[in-house]
């Protein structure tokens, strides 16, 4: 099956939105952020969904949105960091998209997201340790990308160039 979309996976703060928007523009793709899509669809923030309906309900919303998006064409899909927790989502992403994993060290992620109250999973006494623990738990899920890009080691421009090169060869 031909892969007509690119999807970005990775932990929060790895650059999915920033790199995704620039990459979509460069390749003439429409940029879609699954979290923003869900917020618009539900009429409330991800934080509010977590608070009112819980994480399992949010994860079901993610599955539904992803099923819809992979049916479309010419999209750059920037996913929420936990979308890979679902085996169904991992399968869809791997089979139906050119899948890019963005990574960063816990320290880089922490410096990018600290103080951000829109990240419900980081509303902890020790958010840095939460990042370390979650990265370790999700590591095997993030390793499924067709290409893995360390965003804390490379400039935004080089990240985009490497993705474009790999995508064009796929």
Rounded to 10 degrees, the C-alpha dihedral 82/20/46/40 comes to: -130
23-28, long-range: CB within 8 Å, 24+ apart, which pairs? 23/76, 23/160, 23/163, 23/164, 24/76, 26/160, 26/164, 27/76, 27/164, 27/167, 28/74
The whole domain housing 129 covers 5-169
Query: What CATH number does the domain containing 87 carry?
Result: 3.40.50.300
**Which residues line the annotated binding site?**
13-18, 35, 59, 81, 119, 138
- Three-class secondary structure of residue 5 per DSSP: strand
**Which residues line the annotated binding site for Mg(2+)?**
17
**Which residues line the annotated binding site for substrate?**
35, 59, 81, 138
Number of domains in the chain: 1
The reply to whether the predicted model has a pTM over 0.85 is yes
Q: What is the per-residue pLDDT across 54-73, written as a single tens digit (0 to 9) for each?
A: 999 999 999 999 999 999 99
Mean pLDDT of the chain: 93
- Three-class secondary structure of residue 74 per DSSP: coil
**Which residues line the annotated binding site for ATP?**
13-18, 119
Average pLDDT of 30-42? 97
């Amino acid at each position: 099956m031909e892969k007509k979309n690119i999807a970005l996976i990775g932990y929060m703060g790895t650059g999915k939105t920033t790199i995704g928007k620039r990459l979509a523009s460069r390749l003439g793709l429409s940029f879609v952020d699954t979290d923003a899509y869900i917020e618009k669809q539900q009429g409330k923030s991800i934080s509010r969904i977590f608070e009112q309906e819980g994480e399992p309900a949010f994860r079901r919303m993610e599955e539904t949105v992803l099923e819809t998006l992979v049916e479309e064409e010419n999209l750059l899909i920037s996913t929420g960091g936990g979308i890979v927790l679902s085996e169904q989502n991992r399968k869809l992403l791997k089979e139906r998209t050119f899948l890019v994993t963005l990574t960063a060290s816990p320290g880089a992620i922490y410096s990018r997201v600290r103080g951000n109250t829109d990240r419900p999973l980081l509303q902890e006494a020790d958010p840095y340790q939460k990042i370390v623990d979650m990265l370790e738990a999700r590591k095997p899920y993030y390793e499924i990308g067709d290409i893995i890009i360390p965003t804390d080691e490379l400039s935004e421009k080089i990240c985009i160039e490497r993705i474009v090169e790999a995508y064009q060869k796929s």
